[in-house]
Amino acid sequence: MPHGFITRSVHVGQTPHTSSGDIVPPLHLTSTFTTERVDQLTNVYEYSRAANPTRDAFQEALASLEEGEHARAFPSGMSAEDTLLRAVTRPGDHITFGTDVYGGTYRLFTRVLTVEGRASTPVDLTDLELVARTVRENRSRVLWVETPSNPLLQVYDLRELSRIAHEADVLLIVDNTFASPYLQRPLTLGADAVVHSTTKYIGGHSDLVGGAVVLAEGLAIPSGIAPLADTGLVADDLQFLQATVGAVPGAFDAYLASRGLKTLAVRVARQSATALEVAEYLAQHPAVRAVHYPGLSSDPGHDLAARQMDGFGGVLSFEARDPEAAVAICQSTSVFALGVSLGAAESLIEYPAIMTHGAKSGTPWAIDPSLIRLAIGLEDPQDLIEDLERALAGGK
Ligand SMILES: *Cc1c(COP(=O)(O)O)cnc(C)c1O
C-alpha cells in the first residue's frame, strides 16, 4: 500500500478517464453507454444498473480505505445489508447478531428475513462464551456485529469475535458505520465483510442516503450454498445480485460519497475531539446519570477501543434523570437539531427509545427511556456545551 490513509482518501479512484485534465472526475449522469459492435463493449460500460464510472470511482476508493479487495455502493445502508445477506445466506440459515444493533437492522432481521425463512438470535457480544455457544448451537451462517454499538456505544472485540466465528465456520460481518474506516478497519482484524451506511460519516453532509459493502480478499461463498455466478466468490455473486435486483445508487449520490471521503479524516478527527469535550462536560453534570462514550477513560469499552480503533468517534449517549427530562432536553436545544442520523457537519440530538430504536420497544432489548443520543458535528465545542447547559437547566 504505497500511501497513507488520508492521501488515499483524497486520490484513489480520482484519475479521470478524460483528456481534459479535470482534477475531479466528471459526474457520469448517463443511464446507458454506446458501443460499436453488437458482440463487444467499446467503452467497458454498458448500462448504469450494472456499472457506472462514478460509482466505480467511489467503490475503488472505499475498498482501498477499508483495506478490502472489493467494494460495492448501494442506494442505502439497509439495501447494502439486505443484498449482502441474500448473497451469503439462504432460507433455513441462521444469523447471530448483537443485541445493540441499529433499529433498522433489528427490523430487517426480525421482521423481514424471518418471513423468508432466515432465523436470527440476538446475543450480548461482550459475553464471548455465549456468542460461541449461540453460533454453534444454531449452526449460524453469519455473526453480525456493530461496534461501537448504537445507541449505547459499547465496544466489541473484533479479533476475538472473528476467532469465534471462524472456528465455527461462520462469516463475520461488521457494520462499520459508527467508526468509519478512518477510525477502524474491521477487515484487518479478521472480519469477512464490512457494511456502511454512507449516509453518515462517509457522505458527511446530511445530503445523501447511501450504503456500501466491502469484502475481504478472495471471500468465497460459504459451502453448502449454490453460487449465483460461477466463480464461487462473494464479490461476483454480490455484483450479480445487485445488477439483477437493481439495488444501485444514482451517479450523483456516488459522486457525493466520493467527495465525502476526501474530507472524512479531518471531519472525524474534529468530531471525535469535540465529542470527548462534550462527554467530559456531561460526565460531571449533576443532572446526568451516566455517559456512554468509549473516549472517556472510565468507560468500560475504553481500553479495547484504544486497541482496535484509531480514535473514539463523534457519537455519544447519556442518561437524563428520567424519561420526562430526556424528552424535554431533546426538545429544547437550539444548536443541536432534533433529528435522527449522525456523521454530518450539523450536530444532532435524538431520543432513541422512540426515534431510532422504536422497533425494539416491548422487547428485552428496549432502549432506556431516559437515554439521549448526540451526534457531534463540526460546530464550535463551546457552543455545543452551552446549548446542552441551557437544555439541562430546563431552558430554551
Ligand atoms: C443509518 C444506519 C444504518 C442504515 O443505513 P441507511 O443508509 O439509513 O439505510 C445501518 N447501520 C447503522 C449503524 C446506521 O447508523
Nine-digit cell string for 82: 439486505
Residue 176, phi-psi category: left (phi > 0), alpha (psi -120 to 50), beta (remainder): alpha
The pLDDT assigned to 248 comes to: 98
Q: Ligand 1, atom 5: nearest CA belongs to which residue?
A: 77
- Specify the DSSP class assigned to residue 47: B
Q: Tell whether ligand 1 has an atom less than 6 A from the beta carbon of residue 77.
A: yes
Nine-digit cell string for 388: 446542552
Dihedral (CA of 252, 258, 262, 263) sign: positive
Q: Tell whether ligand 1 has an atom less than 6 A from the beta carbon of residue 57.
A: no
**Does 16 score more than 90 pLDDT?**
no
Q: State yes or no: is 49 an active-site residue.
A: yes
Confidence grade of residue 395 (pLDDT, cut at 50, 70, 90):
low
**Does 1 score more than 60 pLDDT?**
no
Q: Tell whether ligand 1 has an atom less than 6 A from the beta carbon of residue 209.
A: yes
Q: State yes or no: is 45 an active-site residue.
A: no
Contacts of 196 (CB under 8 A, 6+ apart): 62, 77, 80, 175, 176, 177, 180, 202, 211, 212, 213, 214
Q: How far is the CA of 108 from the centre of ligand 1 (A)?
A: 12
The pLDDT assigned to 251 comes to: 97
Asked whether 277 and 379 are in contact (CB, 8 A), the reply is: no
Q: How far is the CA of 379 from the centre of ligand 1 (A)?
A: 23
Backbone angles phi, psi at 220, to 5 degrees: -100, 150
Counting beta carbons within 10 angstroms of the beta carbon of residue 219, is it exposed (0 to 12), middle (13 to 18) or buried (19 or more)? buried
Q: How far is the CA of 17 from the centre of ligand 1 (A)?
A: 32
* Ligand 1 atom nearest 342 alpha carbon: 15
- Rounded-to-integer distance, Cα 75 and Cα 250, Å: 7
Angle at 284 between CA 310 and CA 176, to 5 degrees: 25
Q: What is the pTM of this model?
A: 0.96
Least confident of 210-214, 244-248, 272-276, 365-369: 365-369
Beta-strand relationship, 142-146 and 70-74: unpaired
The pLDDT assigned to 19 comes to: 81
* Ligand 1 atom nearest 78 alpha carbon: 9
Sheet holding 315-320, edge to edge: 288-292, 315-320, 371-375, 348-350, 337-338
Q: How far is the CA of 79 from the centre of ligand 1 (A)?
A: 10
Picking from 343, 299, 334, the residue whose alpha carbon sits closest to that of residue 196 is 343
Q: Tell whether ligand 1 has an atom less than 6 A from the beta carbon of residue 105.
A: yes
The pLDDT assigned to 363 comes to: 85
> What does the pLDDT look like over 223-280, one tens digit per residue?
999 999 989 999 999 999 999 999 999 999 999 999 999 999 999 999 999 999 999 9
Q: State yes or no: is 102 an active-site residue.
A: yes
Sheet holding 94-98, edge to edge: 70-74, 211-215, 193-197, 171-175, 142-146, 94-98, 119-123
Q: Tell whether ligand 1 has an atom less than 6 A from the beta carbon of residue 350.
A: no
Q: Tell whether ligand 1 has an atom less than 6 A from the beta carbon of residue 177.
A: yes
Give 54-111 as a 3 state SS string: HHHHHHHHHHHHCCCCEEEEECCHHHHHHHHHHHHCCCCCEEEEECCCCHHHHHHHHH
- Rounded-to-integer distance, Cα 261 and Cα 202, Å: 6
Other beta carbons within 10 Å of 357: 26
Q: How far is the CA of 209 from the centre of ligand 1 (A)?
A: 9
Q: Tell whether ligand 1 has an atom less than 6 A from the beta carbon of residue 26.
A: no
The pLDDT assigned to 292 comes to: 98
Asked whether 382 and 273 are in contact (CB, 8 A), the reply is: no
Q: What would the DSSP string read from start to end of 183-234? A: H--GGGGT-SEEEEETTTTTT-SS----EEEEE-TTPBPPTTS--SSSS-BH
Residue of 55, 72, 185, 200 with catalytic role = 200
